[in-house]
């Protein structure tokens, strides 16, 4: 018998149970936590302002491997892209890029403030815990000081960008990135400073199921402490064109099991997102029966995953159709997961 709040041993047993029964339990957890059949989505845009990166994670197919491949957007180019989003009724921008040792805090605050001054209504769900940590080290400042400067410049919330929160895995797949303790410290500090975040997990990189559960445990503990996470977003690793291309991609069964287990384990997270960008629209729709209550964003101009051979595209009409087809209620939301428009 599984207790109301499951723990690691119970979670491992759940992962191996009949898939449809696991989905049924995850859907029951969704109904209990969410309390409705609404499925949210946000109209947003990914703006990857540079592919130069000094970290070069083994799982990444996007970062620049030579000067001839590199680019860095100007402020004017970034503003033009934001304007295109605004004209389409978009509300959220994800400004993300490679981690560069020769770019200080002023580079990032200047970018954020330029967008915020021109488009004050746009929510900047931008950068990453790794960028914040690396800026702290580079500038010799506390993480709190770096985040305070970014928030003052216009940062509204911070994406998760976690991979797997197990140091043994991180040393293998992203050895130059901050370790688990650092990631958690950045997130805790965000919450203390009053901005919310999301938590993600990229899985299927050769980690064990126990490693995934350890990841769940880390973010659940922090959520117990701060309540600052708005959503959890699991997605599968795309191995093509990476230094880990020998790893076979995760199958639909593995994705649905992990998604369902995340909904059951993360009983203090208000939302779980089904990752259509990596899994495709059909599987993401199935995920709505395995505990998910959110479809994420339309992600205009997503280029990082495209470099790994993932090129699914969708718009508002696609989202509304798929959500309705699943018997759910489509809801355009803002970055705080508040409803902006409920589709009848």
Torsion from C-alpha of 58, 64, 65, 68, nearest 10 degrees? 170
342: tokens are: 């409920």
Per-residue pLDDT for 187 more than 70? yes
Residue 3 lies in a domain: no
Q: What is the CATH number of the domain that holds 185?
A: 3.20.20.70
Containing structural domain, residue 134: 8-342
Domain count within the chain? 1
Q: Report which DSSP code applies to 163.
A: S
Residue 212 lies in a domain: yes
Nearest to 158 by CA among 104, 229, 234, 208: 229
Average pLDDT, the chain: 89
pLDDT band per the 50, 70, 90 thresholds, residue 66? low
Question: What percentage of the chain reaches a pLDDT higher than 70?
Answer: 88
pLDDT in tens, 81-92: 999 999 989 999
Per-residue pLDDT for 215 more than 60? yes
- How many alpha carbons fall within 13 Å on the CB side of residue 106? 1
Phi, psi angle pair for 217, to nearest 5°: -60, -40
pTM of the model as a whole: 0.91
Per-residue burial over 221-257, b = 16 or more CB atoms within 10 Å of its CB, e = otherwise: ebbeebebbbbbbbbbbbbeebebeeeeebeeebbbb
Residue 2 lies in a domain: no
pLDDT in tens, 121-179: 999 999 999 999 999 999 999 999 999 999 999 999 999 988 999 999 999 988 888 89
């Amino acid at each position: 018998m599984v207790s109301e709040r499951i723990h690691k041993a119970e979670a491992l047993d759940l992962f191996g149970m009949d898939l449809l029964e696991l989905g049924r339990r995850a859907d029951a957890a969704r109904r209990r936590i969410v309390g409705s059949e609404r499925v949210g989505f946000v109209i947003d845009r990914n703006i990857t302002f540079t592919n130069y990166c000094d970290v070069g994670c083994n799982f990444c197919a996007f970062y620049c491997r030579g000067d001839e491949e590199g680019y860095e957007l100007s402020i004017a180019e970034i503003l033009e892209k934001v304007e295109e989003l605004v004209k389409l009724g978009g509300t959220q921008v994800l400004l993300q890029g490679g981690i560069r040792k020769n770019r200080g805090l002023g580079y990032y605050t200047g970018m954020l403030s330029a967008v915020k001054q021109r488009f004050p209504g746009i929510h900047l769900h931008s950068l990453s815990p790794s960028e914040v940590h690396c800026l702290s080290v580079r500038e010799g400042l506390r993480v709190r000081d770096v985040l305070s400067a970014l928030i003052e410049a216009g940062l509204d919330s911070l994406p998760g960008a976690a991979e797997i929160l197990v140091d043994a895995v991180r040393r293998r797949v992203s050895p130059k990135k901050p370790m688990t303790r650092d990631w958690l410290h950045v997130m805790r500090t965000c919450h203390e400073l009053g901005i919310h975040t999301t938590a993600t997990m990229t899985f299927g990189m050769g980690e064990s199921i126990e490693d995934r559960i350890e990841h769940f445990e880390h973010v659940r503990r922090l959520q117990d402490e701060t309540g600052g996470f708005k959503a959890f977003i699991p997605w599968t690793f795309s191995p093509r064109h990476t230094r880990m291309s020998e790893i076979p991609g995760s199958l639909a069964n593995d994705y649905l099991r992990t998604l369902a287990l995340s909904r059951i384990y993360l009983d203090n997270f208000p939302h779980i997102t089904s990752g259509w960008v990596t899994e495709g629209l059909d599987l993401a729709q199935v995920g709505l029966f395995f505990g998910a209550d959110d479809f994420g964003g339309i992600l205009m101009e997503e280029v990082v995953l495209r470099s790994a051979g993932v090129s699914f595209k969708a718009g508002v009409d696609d989202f509304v159709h798929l959500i309705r087809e699943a018997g759910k209620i489509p809801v355009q939301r803002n970055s705080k997961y508040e409803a902006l428009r409920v589709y009848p």
